[in-house]
Structure formats: structure tokens, C-alpha cells
Amino acid sequence: MPGCRRGAHESDAPGLAFEVSEAAADFEIVVAQELGANLRVADSLGNADQCEGGKAHRGVDGKLQAELRQATVKRLRLLTMPRVSGFEALIERLGVGGMAETFLAIRRGLGGFEQRVCVKRILPSFAGDPEFVAMFQREARLSALLHHGHIARVLDFGTVDAAHYLALELVEGSDLRFVLRHFRRRGEGLDGGLTSYIAHALASALDYAHATDREGVSAGIVHRDISPSNVLLSPAGELKLTDFGIAKAMSRPGSAQSNALKGKIPYMAPEYALGRRSGPRTDLFSLGVLLYECLAGFRPFDGGHDLQTIEHARNGQREPLQPLAPNAPAALVDAVEALLEPQPEDRPLDAAALLERLDACPPPALARRHLGALVTSLDGSEGLTSLPGLAKTRPAPTQRPRRRLPSRA
């Protein structure tokens, strides 16, 4: 699922992206606009003539036009929700993932209160899947327990006209995946100070999620998808972990169990990838992969395909980190190396133990400001090489394109 961030840097497929706002007063005009876009895509695929506003297209027969219009009307009626539990109409689409899509929305209340929020909505193709809907609702309930400075807050959730939605805190900025990808292309990574700031923030968030709920009783919420795309960054240097959509409560009786692999293979702990039960140390391994990538500029275990990546992780087959990041604090490098141990019992006991290790390498006082400057500068590349927080890295090993394994059901 996409993270809830404003300023997404990935374009949507032609004919799929659109904006819905209060300015679009005439619903039929909006329908015609999107239908025209869909028909133009269909025309281009069929090398046919184009026309405007949903009129007859010679390359698209009448039956397909009718089906496209019906689907468009249904889609827009779901998306142009004029008010959902206090939320104004959706304004702009932020992104789409495999299971849900996210939108910018306005939340209004008494006394002129107004707040920009992110609304996540299950894709129609999943809305009829009871198991997935239950998982989505579980995300809302679990995430609602979490109130931490480095976790994106859940503001509301519900169902309107069979559309299941989740309203989340909006983080204006980017995500860590985009930042790392941008600088990897330049042969740069993050320096030890910024990486230490990221490590402390995420370890603190995981310590909270793994350990407590609002009654102070263990909630045991395991994220199971710690990865750069789920770390949101703002120009103010804020860092928020998001997307607990595949989290589960370890200690709650009757919590749903699934045999499906949930997460991203390059960041996945080997025991979890091989079907063993996930736990806090599963998240810690994923955090180790993320931090290694921050410092080295590439992921530690990537192979030519998913099975090879899992095998590398299981065998601890990777390049040592210290030569790749010679200027990083030794305590930080040692902590990352410990997180990447193939056997869970050889990793730190929990996030609290990791934080104790990280106490030996506190982030610089200006790390947050430097991170914010980095995010702000991503809209234009001028002067990036002179910004604090960047470090030259060795090029990533040459690798073949990875083949993805089919997900386990």
C-alpha cells in the first residue's frame, strides 16, 4: 500500500490518474473527462482515432464504451464522497498500490477547523474479499492504539457505499525510498549522522508498537513491512512510520493468522520468508536492511531473483558494512550488523535493546534540520552535493533484474 505522503514522485498510468474537487460541480462533466481519458488510452492501445469528452470513438466499440462509462460512473461515485465522517470531498489522488489507493482530503469541523489528511481506500477489486476487508479493519483498530511521534496517526475509519476507508495523518514531503533511490543514482548514501537519526526514530517507534498499548498492556504489534517506502519524511525533518496494514497483534487471543507472505522480499527476515512465525526480531531484521541501505547505498542481500535473495539472507551472504561506510560511527555499524544476523536469537532481544546500543552513537543536534533540507531540495538538484548528510558510497554490485516469486496464499 502506498504511504500517506503529499508530493508523491511516481506518476500513475495514463488514464488512471485524476483529481476530484469541489470545483467539479457537474458530476457528468467529471465523468466525461475521465471517460474521455480512458477511451483515449483504449484508442492508443488499438491504434485508433481519438475524440473528445466520451463521444463515439471509432477504435472502441459501443459495448466497450458502455462498460467503460459504467465503471467510470461507479468509480467516481465512490471517490467523490462529499462528506465522510466529517471529511470534505477528496481533492487529489496521491498514489495507488496493489491493494489500496490514497487521496488528499480536507477534514473540517466546528469553528472553522480545517485539516489536510490522507484517505486510504481499498481498491474495488478487494472490497468484496471478506478476509482482506477484515485485515484492513484490523489495521485501523491496531493503528488507532498507536500514539507516537514517529508513527503516522490514524484519525478515522469506516465504510461508505461499500468503500472501506482509513483517514491518516498527512505527511507533506517524500518517503525514504525516493530519497535513497535519488542518491544511489549519484553514487551517494546517507552519512552516519542522518542514518543515526533514522535509526533512533524507527527503533523508538518499534519499541512503542511492540511493547505497549494505551492501557500499558503489551500490544505486541509487529509491522512486518519495514521498508523505505513506509518511512515518510517532511521538509521539517519529521519522520513517520506508516502502513501497519499487515501488522498483527501477537498477544491477543483470536488474532488472525495468515500463511501469506506479507512484506517485501529484499527487506524480509529469512525465518519469516521461510514460513516461520513473525515477531519483534522480524521487524528488527528489516530495520537492519533499511539502515544498511542508508549507509551503503544498496541493499545487503539482493540476488538475481527472490529465492536467491532469501538464500543470501539465510546464509548471511553480504558485504561487510564497515568498508562501505568507513566514516560511520563504529557503534552504528555494529548495531546494523547485529540486526542482520540470520538467526533471530542472535539479534538484539528487542527494540529497547537496540536503543541501548544506539545510545553510543546519538544523532547530531542538527540531524533533523539536515534531513528536512534534504527533503526540501529533492524538487531541484542544485547544490545537493554540498548538503550535510550525504556520503560517497561504492557502486552497488552489478545484478540481474530480479524475478518475483508468486505470493503464497
Task: Classify residue 335: in a domain, yes or no.
Answer: yes
Task: Classify residue 224: in a domain, yes or no.
Answer: yes
Looking up residue 311, the CATH number of its domain turns out to be 1.10.510.10
Is the pLDDT reported for residue 222 higher than 90? no
Note whether 44 and 162 are same-domain residues: yes
Task: Classify residue 280: in a domain, yes or no.
Answer: yes
How large a percentage of the chain has pLDDT more than 70? 64
Is the pLDDT reported for residue 16 higher than 50? no
Note whether 44 and 107 are same-domain residues: yes
* pLDDT of res. 13: 28
Label residue 294 by pLDDT band (50, 70, 90).
very high
Alpha-helix runs per DSSP H in 255-409? 270-273, 280-296, 306-315, 330-339, 351-358, 367-377
In the numeric block, which cell numbers belong to residue 10?
511516481
* pLDDT of res. 12: 32
Task: Classify residue 38: in a domain, yes or no.
Answer: yes
- Range of weakest confidence among 162-166, 242-246, 337-341, 360-364: 242-246
Specify the DSSP class assigned to residue 219.
-
CA distances from 18 to 60, 72, 91 (A): 21, 12, 10
What domain count does the chain have?
2
Among residues 52, 324, 363, 80, the alpha carbon closest in space to that of 200 is found at 363
Q: Which residue has the higher pLDDT, 375 or 120?
A: 375
Note whether 122 and 232 are same-domain residues: no
Label residue 42 by pLDDT band (50, 70, 90).
low
Note whether 115 and 198 are same-domain residues: no
Catalytic residue flag (residue 225) = yes
* pLDDT of res. 4: 66
* pLDDT of res. 219: 58
Task: Classify residue 404: in a domain, yes or no.
Answer: no
Note whether 165 and 180 are same-domain residues: no
Among candidate residues 136, 171, 206, the one where a domain is terminated: 171
Looking up residue 29, the CATH number of its domain turns out to be 3.30.200.20
From 175, 191, 207, 225, the catalytic residue: 225
Reduced to 3 states, what is the DSSP secondary structure of residue 82? coil
Q: Which residue has the higher pLDDT, 122 or 381?
A: 122
Note whether 32 and 108 are same-domain residues: yes
Task: Classify residue 77: in a domain, yes or no.
Answer: yes
Label residue 399 by pLDDT band (50, 70, 90).
very low
Task: Classify residue 407: in a domain, yes or no.
Answer: no
Those residues with Cβ within 8 angstroms of residue 394's Cβ, 6 or more apart along the chain or in another chain: 296, 297, 324
Cβ contacts of 40-43, under 8 Å, gap ≥ 24: 40/15, 41/14, 41/15, 42/68
Note whether 120 and 252 are same-domain residues: no
Using an 8 Å Cβ cutoff, are 186 and 203 in contact? no
Of 18-22, 97-101, 177-181, highest mean pLDDT: 177-181
Is the pLDDT reported for residue 350 higher than 80? yes
Task: Classify residue 267: in a domain, yes or no.
Answer: yes
Label residue 397 by pLDDT band (50, 70, 90).
low
Note whether 109 and 237 are same-domain residues: no
Q: Which domain holds residue 282?
A: 174-392
- Mean pLDDT, rounded, of the chain: 75
* pLDDT of res. 253: 43
Is the pLDDT reported for residue 334 higher than 70? yes
- Range of weakest confidence among 81-90, 142-151, 372-381: 81-90
* pLDDT of res. 158: 82
Note whether 269 and 303 are same-domain residues: yes
Is the pLDDT reported for residue 51 higher than 70? no
Note whether 55 and 103 are same-domain residues: yes
Note whether 160 and 181 are same-domain residues: no
Note whether 261 and 328 are same-domain residues: yes
